[in-house]
Amino acid sequence: MPQYDFDLLTIGAGSGGVRASRMSASYGARVAVAEERYLGGTCVNVGCIPKKLLVYASHFAEDFEDAAGFGWSVGARSFDWARLIENKDREIARLNTVYARVLDDAGVKRLEGHARVVDPHTIELAGRTYTAANLLLATGGWPALPEIPGIEHAITSNEAFHLKELPRRVVVAGGGYIAVEFAGIFNGLGSRTTQLHRGELFLRGFDDDLRRTLADEMRKKGVELRFGVRMERIDKHGDVLRARLTDGSELEADQILFAIGRAPNVAGIGLEEAGVALDSVGAVVVDAYSRTNVPSIWAIGDVTNRLNLTPVAIHEAMALSATLFANRPTVPGYDDVPTAVFSQPAIGTVGLTESVARERFGAIDVYRASFKPLRHTLSGRDEKTLMKLVVDRASQRVVGAHMVGPDAGEIIQGIAIAVKMRATKAQFDATVGIHPTSAEEFVTMRTPVTSS
């Protein structure tokens, strides 16, 4: 009789937890996964998927306007927030059933309820205990909120997906990708939108040219960006919220959304009692193979606060499954991970920023193109696309590729393969472009704009 109920017991059925459970089962392991909320985790339910659907919805106002330049007459139109949310919810419910079917088909046992680690091999859930040779923590993150008076009147991205009606005036606090994306969503759907950020410019860690370009373009679209300021209190007067800012000014809004970051979701799952080490921000500390200081307990995804992206959590899950059950120890890789911000216009990026490349290599060449996309020669819209390559001068390897503009994420996904393969600028130059596209600029930039 086996010593434990399972070979692997995963806490958290988000993207990483589901993938690790399914792949481990495919290698012959006896697997269970515990989830207290919804299958698919943040990404499927209150993150990547519903957010992208709302981004699509928010683009139509501009598309209707642009149609006139191409000979189309668009008649009376209106927007129904409730219908959008209803349709979004239906799609998310479908995805929940898909995740359930994937786990069931793989032979993974699903445990519903709040799981708590009791000891290095045991969890407690709904009054029962379950044991496993290995426990996997995949509980993700949770929106953080500041401790200011009146914070109970604010919402986070979690609640934004379930608002009963579209707010007429919105204040978005935060400078990360979630804040930027929701500012674009609300603005595009017709809300008067103000975004606050305490720093001089949002999207810290992204290339500076991307950050400046996006700020310019968002302002053109009507988003009020206020940098170097924070919210210090919120007062509620009837249905109106009044935000007092650190510069002494006040803003009135129907909704105030805080997107100032996410914290590792570790509260109440017994990690301290089990002796699992956490870092200064509460993230689970792991080694290169995703193992905690407790040999039988592992962790992947946002709860480890390494690189908090859904595809990275899935990558970590694949590596962990191979390590534990395929006799193939695998270390996840974090170099040249492409990412996109579904801002308006969108950002796509892979590799090193100009400033980081300069620090690492010293001498670099920077290629940059800024232009009006062909579409807007007839639409009349004043929107620019930016493309940029960062090249290590000594090796001539392209070490960074960055874009602001329509379909940036789709374009950078392909460019990321070349960057990952350590392609040189000469190989980019030797690639024939697809004309007429914006993407061809990545293989037609010939003269560096800066060299140092």
**Please, are residues 134 and 296 in contact by the beta-carbon 8 Å criterion?**
yes
Cα distances from 250 to residues 174, 184, 202, 245, 427, in angstroms, run 17, 22, 21, 6, 54
CA 77 to chain centre: 32
* CA atoms of 218 and 184, how far apart (whole Å): 8
Secondary-structure breakdown of the chain: helix, strand, coil percentages, each rounded to the nearest 5: 35, 25, 40
* CA atoms of 157 and 52, how far apart (whole Å): 13
The token duo for 160 is 């934004």
Greatest alpha-carbon pair distance for the chain in Å reads 74
The CA-based angle 376-378-380, given to 5 degrees, is 60
**Residue 435 appears among annotated catalytic residues:** yes
**Please, are residues 11 and 122 in contact by the beta-carbon 8 Å criterion?**
no
* CA atoms of 5 and 385, how far apart (whole Å): 56
Q: Is 326 exposed, middle or buried (0-12, 13-18, 19+ CB in 10 A)?
A: middle
DSSP string, 223-271: -EEEES--EEEEEEETTEEEEEETTS-EEEESEEEE-S-EEE--TTSSH
Distance in Å from the first CA to the final CA of the chain: 67
Q: State the catalytic residue, choosing from 59, 114, 153, 435.
A: 435
* 3-state secondary structure (DSSP) of residue 427: helix
* CA atoms of 145 and 155, how far apart (whole Å): 9
Write the DSSP symbol of residue 287.
Answer: -
Beta strands in 175-223 (DSSP E): 192-197
Q: How many CB atoms lie within 10 A of CB 149?
A: 11
Cα distances from 221 to residues 57, 59, 64, in angstroms, run 16, 11, 15
Would you name the residues annotated as active-site residues?
Answer: 435
